[in-house]
Amino acid sequence: MYLTQALKRTMQLEGRNTATICGDRVRSWNECGERVAKMAGALRKMGITDGERVAVLALNSDRYFEYFYAVPWAGGVFVPINIRLAAPEVAFWLNDSGTEILFIDDNFLHILEALDGQLETVREVVYMGDGPVPNGMHGYEDILAAADAVPDALRGGDDLAGLFYTGGTTGRSKGVMLSHTNFVCNSYNVIGGMRFRPGIHWLHAAPMFHIADGLAVFGVTMVTGVHIFIPAFTPEDSLEAIQAHKISHGLFVPTMMNALVNHPDIEKYDLSSLESVAYGASPMPEAVIRRAMEVIPDCGFIHAYGQTECAPLSTHCGPEYHVFEGPNAGRYKSAGRAALGVEIMICDEDGNEVPRGEVGEVCVRGPNIMLGYWNRPDLTAEAIRDGWMRSGDGAYMDEDGFIYIVDRMKDMIISGGENIYSAEVEDVLHRIPAVVEAAAIGIPDEKWGEAVHAIVRLRDGETVDEAAIIAHCHEQIAGFKCPKSVSFRDEPMPLSGAGKILKTELRKPYWEDKQKQVN
């Protein structure tokens, strides 16, 4: 079982048909496959042998896609770098992974300059842009033109295919080691669960370094779909691309979905080609998904839940559960049920399954579970218990196997001994029409240990005061869950590279000299 098998099969089936669309560049599967085999030749010529790391720091493009296949074809390991990192963090990822070759585009050359002398293992840099090749770098198209196609290295099974770093927003980043089997099994699970069919048109709008879009790189190829790239998410570029390229499938994280479906011009675009849109990577405010279902009524929405360590899909909740009436009403609030080849168990702290309906930690088992953390057997042993990956997420499971995520364990607020799930509070805050963004965090409180604090950003020109917000919450949820205080901010919330609100950043000013209790 190996990653490049799908590329070869799709070349055999659809060789003359379109593989990638990136701006004006359109390439067939035959062209794409030949370029991959030649880029693999170039990597081999640069000394890449089995298991060596090749990183990329770039916005989305067809070349990023080719990279994802050329590296394993050459026998190497891909290491996609978070595009939001500061230079020292990039240095840590590259050095920690022992990356030998770095692919980079124009947007990140300044980071490379800032790191002069700090990269311990990178010995070659490949420039992926279209401008003149910077001094000391190889031009992507130059080395490709000069290389001969090489046979596939045929690494597979439990061989390491990619290193995806997680965290980086809190504590030290960890390299998640994902194997060929991990990726292929995840693709199978995605195809079965996310309604992939032959010939789908996938919009790569979420950043490709993140495994939430990465899943589509491999899954879409496997079903002979077409890949369409925009450099980075903006609502305008996404809407344009959906209309121009008849996008049928895509994935947006909640912050992107929010920006997309609340875009003032959304009605002007023809979005009727959309069959299936997945969302995930962080909790989706109910108001946003309801709005999405209103403005793109013929599209099926799928909540995909997972994490990098699970390659990433663990559960999904499909369009049949995005309904407001009948026996499945309200199930769209769940993260759905175990994906095809995945086992899900809700556990107590000792790893025992808890009864249905009780909150515990989501644990995941299957061939999609990572090999471990790179050079961190200590963390691997903590994370994987008897083959079960501990997600760090709190959830309960209903009688039909649907899981309801209540919070990241570490985002849970504990006030007066009660567990309060920030996602629940945020959902209520989002129901206030004037609220654009909202976060609930725990702040130090002498009496309760932690108190719920709300941080909100209002729509331009709208006003609502602290008392009104707190009163609104009291109408909807139990008193102990309601914010005791509210702060307002004008600028957008700080986001991680994956578009998640950085709670750690929001909490920082309140906890500077105190220790946040992490469950």
Residues that bind a copy of itself (CB under 8 A): 1, 5-6, 8-9, 12-16, 154, 181, 184-185, 188, 191-192, 222-223, 337-338, 340-344, 366-367, 387, 397, 399-401
The nearer residue to a copy of itself, 218 or 301, going by C-beta atoms, is 218
| Residue type for position 413 | I
- Cβ distance to a copy of itself smaller for residue 181 or 248: 181
**What's the per-residue H, E or C state across 266-301?**
HHHCCCCCCCEEEEECCCCCHHHHHHHHHHCCCCEE
Helix (H), strand (E), coil (C) string for 315-351: EEECHHHCCCCCCCCCHHHCCCEECCCCEEEEECCCC
Residue 518 burial (CB count, 10 A): 11
3-state secondary structure of 250: strand
Structure letter (DSSP) for residue 388: E
Q: At what angle do helices 4-14 and 62-74 cross, to 10 degrees?
A: 120
- 359/397 with CB nearer a copy of itself: 397
- Least distance to a copy of itself, CB of residue 513, Å: 46
CB of 514 to a copy of itself, least distance (A): 41
What is the nearest approach in angstroms of a copy of itself to the Cβ of residue 336? Answer: 10
Helix (H), strand (E) counts: the chain: 15, 27
Taking the complex as a whole, the smallest distance from the CB of residue 218 to a copy of itself amounts, in Å, to: 12
The closest alpha carbon to 280, from 256, 264, 259, 296, belongs to 256
Smallest distance, a copy of itself to C-beta of residue 335, A: 14
Residue 194 CB, nearest distance to a copy of itself (Å)? Answer: 12
Region of residue 334 (phi > 0: left; psi between -120 and 50: alpha; otherwise: beta): beta
Rounded to a whole number of angstroms, the minimum distance from the CB of residue 307 to a copy of itself is: 19
State the nearest-atom distance from the C-beta of 5 to a copy of itself, in Å: 6
Residue type, 476: Q
Q: Which is nearer to a copy of itself, 221 or 422 (CB)?
A: 221
Closer by beta carbon to a copy of itself, 360 or else 483: 360
For residue 201, CA distances in Å to 71, 266, 512 come to 24, 20, 47
Minimum separation from the CB atom of position 156 to a copy of itself (A): 8
C-alpha span between 67 and 56 (Å, rounded)? 8
C-beta of 160 vs 191, nearer to a copy of itself? 191
Q: Give 363-367's long-range contacts (Cβ < 8 A, gap of 24+).
A: 363/388, 363/389, 363/390, 363/391, 364/310, 364/314, 364/388, 364/389, 364/391, 365/389, 366/185, 366/310, 366/341, 366/342, 367/181, 367/182, 367/185, 367/341
Asked if 167 contacts 174 with a C-beta cutoff of 8 angstroms, the reply is yes
Strand partners of residue 203: 228, 250
* Residue 28 · residue 15 · CB < 8 Å: yes
Closest distance of CB 399 from a copy of itself, Å: 8
Compare residues 27 and 337 and give the one whose CB is closer to a copy of itself: 337
Which neighbouring-strand residues pair with 409? none
CA dihedral 492, 493, 494, 500 (to 10 degrees): -120
Please say which residue, 401 or 433, places its beta carbon nearer to a copy of itself: 401
Please, what is the minimum distance in Å from the beta carbon of residue 2 to a copy of itself? 9
Q: How far is the CB of 192 from a copy of itself (least distance, A)?
A: 5
Instruction: Kindly tell me which of 4 and 82 has the beta carbon lying closer to a copy of itself.
Output: 4
One-letter identity of residue 299: C
In this complex, which beta carbon is closest to a copy of itself, that of residue 29 or of residue 127?
29
- Cis-peptide, bond into residue 509, ω within 30° of zero: no
354, 6, 45, 65: which is closest to 186 by C-alpha? 6
User: Considering beta carbons, is residue 231 or 366 the nearer one to a copy of itself?
Assistant: 366
Q: Which tokens is 135 given?
A: 């001094």
Question: 386 vs 460, which CB is nearer to a copy of itself?
Answer: 386
Q: Give the shortest CB-197-to-a copy of itself separation in angstroms.
A: 9
Give whichever of 343 and 505 is closer to a copy of itself, judged by the CB atom: 343
Lookup: tokens for 298: 């013929």
> What are the b/e assignments for 90-111, b being 16+ CB within 10 Å?
bbbbbebbbbbbbbbbeebbeb
Residue 519 to residue 515: CA distance in whole angstroms: 12
